[in-house]
Amino acid sequence: MNEDERVELVRLLPPPARPELSADRHRLLRGHLMSELREQPVRVRRGRPGRVVVPALAGGLALALVLTGGGSASGPDRSQAPQATQAPQAQPSAGSAPLNAAPVAAVRLLNQAADAADRAQDTTPRGDQFVYVKSVQTYPSTDEATGEATKGTPQNREIWRSVDGSRWGLLVMDGQRRPTGQDLKDPHARPDEPAPHPLGGGWLEPTPGNTGPSGYAYAAALPTDPDQLLAKLKADTKGQGPGPDQEAFATIGDILREQLVPSPVRAALYRAAARIPGVTVVDEVTDAVGRQGVAVARLDSGGVVETQWIFDRSSFEFLGERTVAVKDDGSWRKGEVTGQTTILGRAVVDQVGDRP
């Protein structure tokens, strides 16, 4: 066969089929990609104020390789074979953000926080002890006459929660004692409510079993597999809130905010949050006491308020949570902080009223 005949035969043959990757190979390559992303530091390119913009080229190409099953180095050489005609690729519209920019940054930050939690050394409390959390909170109040929201003022907050839920807890806000059931002559008040505590504040009823997100037993019993954890949170909150994704995000925040969460569960919570669609990164965030940090955020279903979890830039410690208006809406202007909780300390103590 001469050269002309060979070329003509090649032209008539169909192009070689592209090798398809098995499902296991897809998962392996995707896992390798995500590991590389976790190991890379967050690099910030200044774009719009307050947002992290991450170049998408490397991640986008790698994901394209994994998802399309592109050939490996050992695949057939098609450099001399005719290529199938490909439809032109759609181009992003002018001004659009790079594909994967915010999701990749959010996954990276949450995985860094999870890795830091994995390295943390825990103190496991006894059932007869209390989890103590000190914070500064600012939340709006509503004028009963007009129904309008008014901006709150910062308040120091201390809370003692029973580890096993069998004992009375205590909540103290700026040393003020809030009315209890007995003060209000509530006929449904428990007759065994303790006498007022010397620190003031109000008593928190025992919660045997600690079955809610604010209980230590609930947090300690959560799965450490992120997928199983996210599935449980969605099952536990089914039918609540604006939707399963937003409710799962809010519930993770509830667990992290005023509880002592074992480090394996804390790491799983961060990795579970990285699997929730719509989570983004906000750079250069300042908490209520002036600490600089970086946040992951998610917009609520109404598109008015964004919930942000603030982390220390170096240690990736959870510093607190805040909500920010993303548009003008009656009482709030775009960019205003509508509420926040800044964590100042956590500890395990033996008695209600004990401080570390």
List for the chain the helix, strand, coil content (%; round to 5): 30, 25, 50
What pLDDT does residue 39 have? 37
Q: What are phi and psi of 244, to 5 degrees?
A: -65, -40
Question: Which pLDDT belongs to residue 102?
Answer: 39
Q: Which residue has the tokens 């500890």?
A: 347
pLDDT at 176: 64
Place of tokens 């997928």: 227
Q: Closest Cα to residue 160, out of 146, 144, 151, 171?
A: 171
Of 309, 344, 345, 339, residue with least CA distance to 153:
339
266's tokens:
């804390």
Rounded to 5 degrees, what are φ and ψ at 171? Answer: -125, 125
Q: What is the pLDDT of residue 4?
A: 54
Whether residue 82 contacts residue 225, with contact meaning beta carbons closer than 8 Å, is answered with no
Give CA separation, 195 vs 139, 191, 203, 265, in Å: 29, 11, 9, 36
In three-state secondary structure terms, 120 is: coil
Domains of the chain by residue range: 125-349
Predicted pLDDT of residue 242 = 81
Residue type, 192: D
Contact 337, 348 (CB under 8 A): no
- pLDDT for 307: 94
Predicted TM-score of the model (pTM): 0.68
CA–CA separation, 301 and 305 (whole Å): 9
93 class by beta-carbon count within 10 Å (0-12 exposed, 13-18 middle, 19+ buried): exposed
| CA 36 to each of CA 29, 61, 264, 272, 346: distance values in angstroms, whole numbers, following the listed order | 11, 14, 21, 18, 33
pLDDT for the residue numbered 23 = 44
| Span 85-112, pLDDT tens digits | 333 333 333 333 333 333 689 999 999 9
Contacts of 105 (CB under 8 A, 6+ apart): 42, 52, 53, 54, 280, 281
Residues in the chain predicted with pLDDT less than 50, given as ranges, are 7, 9-10, 12, 14-102, 182, 184-185
